[in-house]
Amino acid sequence: MTNIDLRSAKRLVEAIRLGEVSIVDVVEASLNKIKELDKDINAFITINSKKALAAAESLDTKLKRGEKVGALCGLPIAVKDVISTAGLETTCGSKILKGYIPPYDATVVAKLKEAGAVIVGKTNTDEFAMGSTTEFSAFGPTRNPVDKSRVAGGSSGGSGAAVAAGMVPLSLGSDTGGSIRCPAAFCGVVGLKPTYGSVSRYGLISYANSLEQIGPFAANVDDCALLFQCISGWDPMDSTSYRNPPKVESSKICRRVAVPKEFFGEGVEDAVARSVWRGIEALKDGGYVVEEVSLSTLDYALPAYYIIAMAEASSNLARFDGLRYGLSLKSGYRDWNTYFSKCRAKGFGPEVKRRILLGTYVLSAGYYGAYYLKAQKIRNILKTQFQQLFTKYGLIAGPTMPTTPFKIGEKIEDPLLMYMIDINTVPPNLTGHPAISVPVHKEGELPVGLQIIAPYFCEERLFQAAKIVEESLRRQ
């Protein structure tokens, strides 16, 4: 393999095991690709060149000795910069954590290393994962590799763009309200939000604990499934992690797909709807029975999500005070309250400040019951409706995003417009169900993603359906 193609993880693993290429060659190819392309895309905040090459050399030595190196066999992987990496700066895309180097690896990072992966860098993100375009990063926006004048999606835009541009075969993101599926749809790659509790959150710097989940990006469904298998499983360090997930028996309803009409409501572009129905028709051709349904509670999902997410954010971000890690100001402040306020004012960006203020408001006396408790009630109703739907259907499908990727700067001045693009992705975060985004656009068109949602711990069912869509559209 003289010309190393980084778009197929499984093919690379096979080539490394057969001795067609060394791990050092593959990692060097990835680093060279990053150096060549990232000045225009801005997918990475931190590049881990020296340590990555040292790790690659060590793994090559193990292979020569005949030792096992894990399922990922030296593959270069990018990690979103909200996930802790020992000895490697982790900023959350924020000035307030500039220079912070975690003393430990997140569980998912430890699992990647156990599987033989090489961490080549940390990817760009909306500050503290709060955004849908990566425009709210303190390090500048990530540009879409398909059209560099357009957003890559967010908040895991760097991870999605890195895979789409062929800089790495695999990457990790986090998904609080669509932050994996949005960049996957906008960049034309595959992205999975796993079942809440199926992947450890230990080492993920929290935005909204009850909603977020770490998940994989890949250029194709098989590679996405491979990375998910490597990072999933129980973790005693994470109290939200499931030790013994329930076994899901296959049945006739597994082949039945519900398409809520609310997913195609106001704001969904015609081009998006056409491409998504192309993917749904592929499921029909693959033997699935598709029926349109109505889920009235979906109309309330977005406001409920933002109330809950902002409330949790206001609590989680109280820990950043400029005293223990990250940004610190020069002395001269007479009291702690003044220093705390000045440091946070300088360190946090406008979107983070907005969400902290709104979250504090909905949790305050007199408004807690009017907003936060009502949002939680809507969340429970939505869970119940999804569970009822899954007694009749094996999957739920619709557009991942209501629009194709828009121009950088086009919506950033209107927070409500920005929040509205999450309208189809937030329900699985509220309910905890797994969801995947698979590309369904034709070559030459702007990327569009089909979102497929499954019952709890039915990721394999998602991969099977997404694979049918992927193979069908590849033949067209």
Residues 127-139: tens digit of each pLDDT:
999 999 999 999 9
**Cα angle 196, 95, 209; round to 5:** 15
Active site residue 84: no
Contact 40, 82 (CB under 8 A): no
Please state whether beta strands 435-439 and 190-193 pair in parallel, antiparallel, or not at all (unpaired): antiparallel
The structure's pTM equals 0.97
**CA–CA separation, 204 vs 217, rounded Å?**
17
Q: What is the reported pLDDT for 251?
A: 72
Q: Which residue has the tokens 């749904």?
A: 280
Residue carrying structure tokens 């408001």: 361
Size of the chain in residues: 476
Active-site choice (22, 30, 33, 80): 80
Instruction: Tell the residue number behind the tokens 């590849």, with chain if given.
Output: 474
CA dihedral 267, 269, 275, 279 (to 10 degrees): 10
Catalytic pick from 137, 179, 206, 314?
Answer: 179
Alpha helices, H only, 266-373: 270-285, 298-316, 336-347, 350-363
Q: What is the mean pLDDT of residues 190-195?
A: 98
Which one, of 403, 472, 467, 402, lies nearest residue 442 by Cα? 472
3-state secondary structure of 175: strand
Residue 194 has pLDDT above 80, yes or no: yes
Is the pLDDT reported for residue 235 higher than 50? yes
Q: How confident is residue 1, by pLDDT bands cut at 50, 70 and 90? A: very low
Task: Give the pLDDT confidence of 17-36 residue by residue, as tens digits.
Answer: 999 999 999 999 999 999 99
Residue 325: the pLDDT is 85
Q: What value does the mean pLDDT take over residues 39-56?
A: 98
d(CA 216, CA 199): 11
* Measured CA angle at 158 (ends 130, 321), to 5 deg: 40
All domains in the chain, ordered by first residue: 9-231 (3.90.1300.10)
Percent of the chain with pLDDT over 90: 90
State the residue for tokens 């309208």: 423
Task: Tell me: cis bond preceding 328? Omega within 30 of 0 counts.
Answer: no
Cβ–Cβ < 8 Å for 94, 185: no
Cβ neighbours, 10 Å, residue 332: 7
Q: What are phi and psi of 218, to 5 degrees?
A: -160, 165
- Phi first, then psi: give them for residue 19, nearest 5 degrees: 80, 15
Q: How confident is the model at residue 474 (pLDDT cuts 50, 70, 90)?
A: confident
| Cβ-based neighbour number of residue 403 at 10 Å | 18
179 has catalytic annotation: yes
Contact between 467 and 221 under an 8 Å Cβ cutoff? The reply is yes
Centre a 10 Å sphere on the Cβ of residue 117 and count the other Cβ atoms it contains: 28
Strand duo 190-193 + 213-218: pairing? antiparallel
Q: What are 364's two structure tokens? A: 């305050």
Angle at 175 between CA 302 and CA 200, to 5 degrees: 130
Q: What is the pLDDT of residue 252?
A: 74
- Cα 189 to Cα 55, 253, 337: the distances in Å are 27, 28, 46
Q: Give burial (CB, 10 Å; 0-12/13-18/19+) of 247.
A: exposed
- Mean pLDDT of the 271-275 span: 97
- The pLDDT tens digits for 359-396 are 999 999 889 999 999 999 999 999 999 999 999 999 99
Residues 137, 155, 174, 314: which is the catalytic one?
155
CB-facing half-sphere around the CA of 210: CA atoms within 13 A: 16
Q: Say if residue 114's pLDDT is above 50.
A: yes
* Closest C-alpha to 219, from 381, 5, 379: 5
CB 279 within 8 A of CB 450: yes
50 as an active site residue: the answer is: no
Whether the Cβ atoms of residue 453 and residue 389 lie closer than 8 Å to each other: no
Nearby residues of 5 by Cβ (< 8 Å), 6 or more positions away:
11, 12, 166
Residue 2's pLDDT band, with cuts at 50, 70 and 90, is low
User: Do 326 and 96 touch, CB atoms closer than 8 A?
Assistant: yes
Average pLDDT over residues 48-58: 98
Work out the mean pLDDT of the chain and round it to a whole number.
95
Helix (H) or strand (E) holding 385: helix 374-389
- For the residues 88-107, what does the mean pLDDT come to? 97
- Rounded Cα distance between 129 and 157, Å, is 10
How crowded is the C-beta side of 243, counted as CA atoms within 13 Å?
3
pLDDT level of residue 475 (50, 70, 90 thresholds): confident
The tens digit of pLDDT for each residue in 405-425 reads: 999 999 999 988 999 999 999
- Count of H-run helices and E-run strands, the chain: 15, 13
49 by Cβ neighbours in 10 Å (0-12 / 13-18 / 19+) ranks as: middle
List the single range of 64-68, 251-255, 347-351, 454-458 with lowest mean pLDDT: 251-255
